[in-house]
Amino acid sequence: MNTDAFDERDFVEGLRENNPQSFKVLYEKYAPKLHAFSSRFNFTRQEAEEIVQETFIRIWQSRQSIDPDKSFNTFLITIAKHLIYNQIRRNTYRARYVNEQKSGIEKIASDAANERELQKLIHKGMGNLPDRCRKIFSKSRIEGLSNGEIADEMNISKSTVENQLNKALKKMRLYLQHNGFKSLSIITMFAGTLNKFFS
């Protein structure tokens, strides 16, 4: 008769009868093996230890349903596999979340850097405009005035405002495109950037 098998059966019987010493013996025999098994899945030491602890907690909770005529090792591994699978799934979700957050942060940083660069270029580009053209562009795109309001304020015709504004937009668009901002509609859409820059 296999002594180890005979001993194991006795300890399982003791476990079924709520004997803490039997539980301790089974724990001391199988916990190191289970820890080594769990470590194959690239878990941290703490994660592997938690799997071992949770496995034996569940064994104790279901001790009276254990069949002493069947392999205790198989029973233990069956419980552990579910815990290992759940831990792998949690780690996968965690890694995915971290990567998504990292990508989001990198995008925010990149967008912020691009906006700062755009602000600098707008400032430089405006400096290249003729005085009247620059004033009209500033009142339109920075102050948010309508063409009619600009005409009244500067005592010029509305058509002059429109002509000067179109001239400014064309020059600014070409300037920004030359410096790496290729969007053809960027000038008509950057009022928010200008307002933040000059506020």
Taking the C-alpha atoms of residue 39 and residue 109, their distance in angstroms, rounded to an integer, is 37
Q: With contact defined as beta carbons under 8 Å apart, do 56 and 102 qualify? A: no
Q: Give the pLDDT confidence of 55-88 residue by residue, as tens digits.
A: 999 999 989 888 888 888 888 988 988 888 888 8
User: Can you give the pLDDT at residue 173?
Assistant: 83
Q: Give the pLDDT confidence of 81-113 residue by residue, as tens digits.
A: 888 888 888 888 777 766 666 665 556 556 666
- Its pTM stands at 0.46
Spell out the domains of the chain, with CATH numbers in brackets: 3-96 (1.10.1740.10), 128-198 (1.10.10)
Least-confidence region, from 20-29, 44-53, 121-130: 121-130
Comparing C-alpha atoms, which of 174, 186, 65 is closest to residue 128? 174
User: Can you give the pLDDT at residue 191?
Assistant: 45
For residue 135, CA distances in Å to 26, 116, 140, 151 come to 86, 22, 9, 11
User: Can you give the pLDDT at residue 137?
Assistant: 86
Structure tokens at 74: 């198989």
Q: With contact defined as beta carbons under 8 Å apart, do 14 and 22 qualify? A: yes
The whole-chain average pLDDT of the chain stands at: 79
Query: Could you count the other beta carbons within 10 Å of the beta carbon of residue 87?
Result: 19
Comparing C-alpha atoms, which of 26, 28, 32, 31 is closest to residue 12? 26
User: Can you give the pLDDT at residue 52?
Assistant: 92
Comparing C-alpha atoms, which of 166, 101, 110 is closest to residue 133? 166
Over range 15-34, report the average pLDDT. 91
Coil, helix or strand at residue 70: coil
